[in-house]
């Protein structure tokens, strides 16, 4: 009997040892090898070269098996993420070159671009420290290529911003020219296209003529933007024009009437109480001015 008991104990010990050994082997099993090929890195490097000169190329290098598979290792997953980020950077750069985007949209895209590039460089640096020694030279090659891409983008964006500024100044000058030529409709179209980048007070200063002429055109221009008075801050234009006329003693009865009638009901297009008060205050000044001409 005691032999049977002893046999059972031995069997239990053997089974327990076998299970423990399997667990230890699983726990200490080496991770699946993470292999990085020259071809994989080369595809990413070629992607970074799509921004050459001023424009981004529409061509894309032939894919070299960076597509996800069931057996993809961690390295392949990260390389696919790098590829997606690089493609996003290039696509965003192409969008930023569009003349149709507003100054505000451009600044948003620029901030996104800077954030993504900084994050991408950080991830590549971390990845270089994680991979085996034999693959570090490949990751360093990718890192150097990304740094060159970042420099090219910065240089190109600087030139692009200079071009945008020059184009904006030309549009501003055209807007002023139309106003001084009393072509109010075209001036309104151009001003709307500038989408608020041309400050209303500055436009009024640029358009004002020292002889006091052109008041009707400026007031007509403000009225053409009446429905967007809050967005374009037309009250600033009225205030600057009134200031010029008062200072130069050019605010006669006719000009006072033109400005007063234009201000009637303007506050209904404003939502900011401060701006509503500005409209009402200027209207009171014009009423007082008109009263001064009576008798």
DSSP letter for each residue of 263-286? HTTGGGG---HHHHHHHHHHHHHH
Task: Retrieve residue 253's tokens.
Answer: 């009865």
Distance CA 156, CA 280 (A): 48
Average pLDDT, the chain: 85
Kindly tell me if the per-residue pLDDT of 71 is higher than 80. Answer: no
Kindly tell me if the per-residue pLDDT of 148 is higher than 80. Answer: yes
Kindly tell me if the per-residue pLDDT of 145 is higher than 50. Answer: yes
Report the percentage of the chain scoring pLDDT > 90. 66
Residue listed under structure tokens 């000044």: 285
Tell me what pLDDT residue 162 has. 93
Distance CA 250, CA 244 (A): 8
Across the strands, what pairs with 43? none
- Domains of the chain, by residue range, sit at 174-293
Across the strands, what pairs with 55? 52
Q: How far from the centroid of its chain's Cα atoms is residue 282's Cα?
A: 37
Tell me what pLDDT residue 207 has. 95
> What end-to-end distance do the CA atoms of the chain give, in Å?
136
Kindly tell me if the per-residue pLDDT of 39 is higher than 70. Answer: yes
Q: For residues 85 and 6, which has the higher predicted lDDT (pLDDT)? A: 85
Distance CA 203, CA 190 (A): 12
Tell me what pLDDT residue 33 has. 59
Kindly tell me if the per-residue pLDDT of 76 is higher than 50. Answer: yes
Residue-wise pLDDT for 153-206, tens only, equals 999 999 999 999 999 999 999 999 999 999 999 999 999 999 889 999 999 999
Considering all CA atoms of the chain, what is the largest pairwise distance in Å, rounded to the nearest integer? Answer: 136
């Amino acid at each position: 009997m005691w032999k049977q008991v002893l046999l059972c104990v031995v069997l239990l010990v053997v089974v327990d040892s076998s299970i423990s050994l399997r667990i230890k082997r699983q726990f200490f099993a080496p991770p699946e090898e993470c292999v990085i090929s020259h071809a994989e890195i080369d595809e990413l490097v070629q992607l970074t070269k799509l921004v050459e000169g001023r424009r981004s190329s529409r061509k894309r290098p032939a894919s070299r098996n960076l597509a996800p598979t069931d057996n993809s290792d961690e390295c392949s997953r990260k390389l696919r993420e790098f590829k997606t980020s690089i493609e996003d950077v290039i696509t965003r750069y192409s969008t930023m070159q569009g003349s149709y985007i507003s100054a505000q949209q451009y600044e948003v895209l620029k901030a996104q671009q800077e954030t993504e590039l900084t994050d991408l460089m950080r991830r590549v640096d971390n990845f270089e420290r994680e991979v085996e020694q034999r693959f570090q030279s490949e990751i360093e090659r990718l890192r150097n290529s990304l740094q060159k891409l970042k420099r090219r983008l910065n240089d190109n964006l600087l030139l692009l911003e200079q071009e945008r500024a020059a184009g904006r100044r030309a549009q501003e000058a055209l807007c002023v020219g139309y106003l001084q030529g009393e072509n109010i409709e075209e001036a309104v179209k151009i001003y709307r296209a500038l989408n608020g980048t041309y400050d209303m007070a500055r436009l009024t200063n640029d358009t004002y003529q020292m002889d006091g002429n052109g008041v009707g055109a400026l007031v007509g221009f403000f009225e053409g933007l009446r429905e967007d008075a809050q967005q374009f801050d037309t009250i600033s234009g009225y205030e600057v024009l009134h200031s010029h006329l008062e200072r130069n003693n050019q605010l006669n009865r006719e000009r006072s009437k033109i400005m007063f009638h234009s201000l009637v009901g303007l506050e209904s297009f404003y939502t900011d109480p401060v701006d509503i008060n500005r409209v009402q205050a200027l209207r009171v000044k014009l009423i007082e001015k008109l009263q001064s001409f009576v008798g």
